[in-house]
Amino acid sequence: MKLDDIVISQAIVESFTKDLVDYLEVDVAIAGGGPAGMTAGYYLAKQGKKVVIFERKLSVGGGMWGGGMMYNKCVFQKASLPILDEVGVRYKEYREGYFIADSLETVSGLCFAAIKAGAKIFNLISVEDVMIRDEEKVTGLVLNWSAVGIAGLHVDPLTIRSKYVVDASGHAAEVAQIITRKIGKKLFTDTGEILEEKPMWAEVGEETIVKNTTEIYLNVYVAGMASNTVFGGPRMGPIFGGMLLSGRKVAELLLERLR
Ligand code: 48H
């Protein structure tokens, strides 16, 4: 059989467009495809929810690829091991209570598991705004190609509707930032504002990241590092169990809401 270049192009354009149209209305839209966002996507999709992840960069995985200071290993604590087991990522016990996994295996394992469970991931797309409707509820996300932002082009975005939004954008907590910038000091924190991440303290940071995984505004939840940014918890360095536990927790909270 001869290969027709145009059919190759048609296959890509038509199937991508179909996917995008299919995901214009979802149960949960997740901003950020790092470890927390992918774990959340996995658990939501596994329960049959329609979930989409938008990742700004070419690759998902966020801060996980580089392990600690580019030594591409990730540390996990015991509580997070069932998640690694579930997605088939291998690890070894380094010392009692400290487990070590290959960063590349962890990112690719989480990504493959989320997609196979039914989560849809769009890379190269940035969340640049939220949609607000009745009673100031967030009802969706505003999207644009990351390349548009990088090039500084004046191109208007597209929107998707979602019952719930998860801010899994990492340290920057970008959805929370958009909300405070555009709607005012209305986050569910003590001041209504982002309380900002505190200095490194692995033990406390890993604990608070799960505690701080919660609803931060009407229909908007926060997961992963963004949780400690919003609620003023410490950073924790290259230990990643809390990110997975936070991703799983936000999925559980949303499954409850979607019931
Ligand atoms: C689309 C976006 C947008 C946007 C950002 O940074 P991440 O890895 O975040 P988490 O919370 O899953 O994991 C945090 C972890 O990697 C980390 O940084 C740790 C443990 N730090 C500790 C320390 O002490 O430093 O992933 C977030 C993803 C990234 O891939 C971004 O590109 C993406 O979200 N993203 N995608 N639209 N507006 N903003």
**Local structure of residue 121 (DSSP, 8 states):** E
User: Could you say which residues of the chain have pLDDT below 70?
Assistant: none
Query: What is the pLDDT at residue 91?
Result: 98
Task: Give yes or no for a contact between 87 and 113, defined as CB atoms under 8 angstroms apart.
Answer: yes
Number of residues in the chain: 259
Residue 237 gets the label, from left (phi > 0), alpha (psi -120 to 50) or beta, of left
| CA–CA dist 70, 89 (Å, integer) | 20
Q: Which domains does the chain have, with CATH numbers?
A: 5-258 (3.50.50.60)
Q: What pLDDT digit, counting tens, does each position of 14-32 carry?
A: 999 999 999 999 999 999 9
Residue nearest to atom 34 of ligand 1 (CA): 32
DSSP 143: E
> What are the backbone angles phi and psi of residue 257, rounded to the nearest 5°?
-65, -35
Q: Does 127 contact ligand 1 (Cβ within 6 A)?
A: yes
Q: How far is CA 149 from the centre of its chain?
A: 20
| Residue 90: alpha-carbon gap to chain centroid | 22
234 lines ligand 1 (CB under 6 A): no
DSSP character for 234? B
What is the pLDDT, as a whole number, of residue 135? 76
Choose the residue to mutate in 120, 169, 229 for probing ligand 1, maximizing ligand atoms within 8 Å of C-beta. Answer: 169
pTM of this prediction?
A: 0.98
Query: From the CB of residue 142, how many other CB atoms can be counted at a distance below 10 Å?
Result: 16
The amino acid present at 248, given as its one-letter code, is R
pLDDT of 182-209, one tens digit each? 999 999 999 999 999 999 999 999 999 9
- Residue 83, helix vs strand vs coil: helix
Distance 199 CA to ligand 1 centre (A): 17
pLDDT at 134: 77
**Cβ pair 67, 74 in contact under 8 A:** yes
Query: Six-digit token pair at 1?
Result: 């059989």
Angle between helices 103-117 and 35-46 (to 10 degrees): 30
Is 73 touching ligand 1 by the criterion CB < 6 Å? no
**Which pLDDT belongs to residue 36?**
99
CA neighbor of 116 nearest in space, from 30, 186, 46: 46
User: Which of helix, strand or coil describes residue 217?
Assistant: strand
Count how many Cα atoms sit within 13 Å of the Cα of residue 48 in the half-sphere of its side chain.
Answer: 2
